[in-house]
Amino acid sequence: MILTEPYPVEESPRCQVLISILLALFVFLFLFIFQPFGLSSCTLPKKELKLLGFSLITLGACLSRFFFLPKIFSTYFESRNWTVGKEFLSMLMLIMSISLGNYMYTKQFGPLPSMPNLSEMLLETLLIGIFPITGLITSKYIYQLLKYKSIAESAPIALKSQTWEDNQPLVLLSDKESDKLCIMVRDFIFMEAKANYVEIHYYKEGNLLKKRLRSTLNRMQEQIQVQIRGSKLIQKCHRSFIINLSQVISVKGNAQGYRFQIRDKTLEVPVGGKYKESVQLWKNQ
């Protein structure tokens, strides 16, 4: 079902701000040209200037969606678990929140002859927004899926031969060095940043284990670079992941981008848009 399919999340703050500004501009132009919800009968002075208030409401709602809600509900908004259904629901809620804000703002103008009540305004807004939202989400999903899937399918899928030296110890220390993990490089699989901790996945005597250390991903990356200086075996492939490329058996593509598949086929690691070179490094082993 398409609603459960992975969907790409815009992670660039600059793009998020730009999208918010463009949506706010669109709202202003739409209201200025069509003047729905009783605005056409409004004869208040400086009406065009007052329409900017609707744009500011839209801008605030969009910035809240991109920057504040993901921090409050971090688990729900986790990018690797984002789906078409979540994106669709998120956009509908954004439109409805903008509509509610606009309704409250319109009330400040005083009674308008043809102003709808709240339920009518919400319904009209939903009917106006549902079709472009559906079209935009569907087209973006199809474009991203075809883009990454076609490239990923051209990559080798067999287990690649090991060409980097990985028979050396790797010591990972927590903040203040109060805890540590000692493993061989060949047994390290990947690590993931989780709030104030880093969760490390590794093998020990053939068993798949994981351990949490209180640290940042950047601090862990620095420790690794010092210990395997000059090697490209272990790479940051996402803002929240560091991976051992020797553990990767294939690369797949979906609408969110590339994903590394680990030898233990139950595990997959996402590849961020800024870290596509890790895919090329893996291909060139």
Helix (H, G, I), strand (E, B) or coil at 62: helix
pLDDT score, position 76: 87
Comparing CA positions, the residue from 252, 260, 262 lying closest to residue 188 is 262
pLDDT tens digit string along 89-141? 998 888 889 888 878 887 776 655 566 678 877 887 777 677 778 888 888 88
Give the phi and the psi of residue 5 in degrees, each rounded to 5.
-75, 150
pLDDT given for residue 233 in this prediction: 86
258 bridge partner residues: 253, 271
Lowest mean pLDDT among 2-11, 175-184, 208-217, 223-232: 2-11
Q: What is the pLDDT of residues 212-261, one digit of tens each?
A: 999 999 999 999 988 887 778 899 999 899 999 989 988 887 767 788 98
pLDDT tens digits, one per residue of 49-60: 777 888 898 899
Is 0.85 surpassed by the pTM of this model? no
Tens of pLDDT, residues 12-67: 788 889 888 988 888 888 877 877 666 666 666 676 777 788 889 889 999 999 99
Secondary structure percentages of the chain, helix, strand, coil, to 5:
50, 20, 25
Residue whose C-alpha is closest to residue 60's, from 92, 27, 32: 27
pLDDT of 157 strictly over 50: no
Instruction: Map tokens 């990972």 to a residue.
Output: 172
CB 133 within 8 A of CB 98: no
Q: In this structure, which topology does domain 169-283 adopt according to CATH?
A: OB fold (Dihydrolipoamide Acetyltransferase, E2P) (2.40.50)
Instruction: Give the whole-angstrom CA distance, residue 40 versus residue 54.
Output: 15
Residue 144, pLDDT score? 76
- What is the domain partition of the chain in residue ranges? 2-153, 169-283
